[in-house]
Amino acid sequence: MEVAGALQLGELAAAFAALPVFPLFDTAYFIVSVLYLKYEPGAVEMSRKSPFASWLCAMLHCFGSYILADLLLGESPIDYFSNNSSVILATAVWYLIFFCPMNVFYKCVSFLPMKLIFVAMKEVVRVRKIAAGVHHAHHRYHHGWFIMVATGWVKGSGVALLSNLEQLLRGIWKPETNEILHMSFPTKASLYGTILFTLQQTRWLPISEANLIFFFTMFMIVCKVFMTATHSHASPFAPVESFICPVFFGSVSSGHNSHHHDQHGASHEVSQPPPPPAKSKEELNEGTRKRKAKKAE
């Protein structure tokens, strides 16, 4: 019975891995990507003032991972735009979300139950892109582990890694929001997933690619749907990272915090007005004589 169950699971994973993503899953991917663009401050106003800039930002949200991966592998960054069907589909989604009369399309796709379905479908595409990126890099660099990891990572989270460029197109420059400095859950999950796919591709992980795609997709779907439904930004990796990181990389130095506190304390002291100068002994004596003179009068 166990062998039969494992065989059925293997068949399910193989069928899932062979499931085509175009056009159904790609449409969901484009919808969620453009929705996140519309949530950005000033995105709606920009779409009215400069529709072309808004369209470029939408294309970065939809195809930024392909652009960055092609740059890493020395290929043309606009190579994916030769796929006319995908570009037209993404453009149609962008137009409907931003310019549909009375925001009918936006209201439908942003309705939470519908949005959760699209978020789950987007994670299917994300994991496929990670697996395809690692496979492509392995085909060109058989022993280039770091190249495989880098390519798969940007395939899964290239949009977030290009967020500063996308902000620049919207007239915003916030280098402190760099995704490398403040990794979101999709970026971390893409990195960890890419490592797993690299180990599988180099035969260090004894699991088939179809099974890995199936299990990692289920993990991503559960995490992202839960986080979207609860509006949570807490990473599922936080408990493990809080335990492992201090062991291998050390904790935050308390000296830095005390120095930071001293600087703030010093600035606070400087900002306070200086106390009034103490009166001299002669001034005190003069005041005493005046009070006695008033009492005598």
- The pLDDT profile of the chain, 297 residues, written as one tens digit per residue, is 344 355 567 889 999 999 999 999 999 999 999 999 999 988 999 999 999 999 999 999 999 999 999 999 999 999 889 999 999 999 999 999 999 999 999 999 999 999 999 999 999 999 999 999 999 999 999 889 999 999 999 999 988 999 888 888 888 888 888 888 889 999 999 999 999 999 999 999 999 999 999 999 999 999 999 999 999 888 888 888 888 888 888 876 544 443 444 344 433 333 444 455 554 444 445 555 555 444 444
Distance CA 147, CA 110 (A): 37
Cis peptide upstream of residue 23 (ω within 30 degrees of 0):
yes
Cis peptide upstream of residue 20 (ω within 30 degrees of 0):
no
Question: Looking at the whole model, is its pTM more than 0.85?
Answer: no
**Tokens representing 54?**
């808004």
* End-to-end CA gap in the chain: 116
Distance CA 158, CA 125 (A): 13
- Name which of 104, 105, 94, 103 is nearest 53 in CA terms: 94
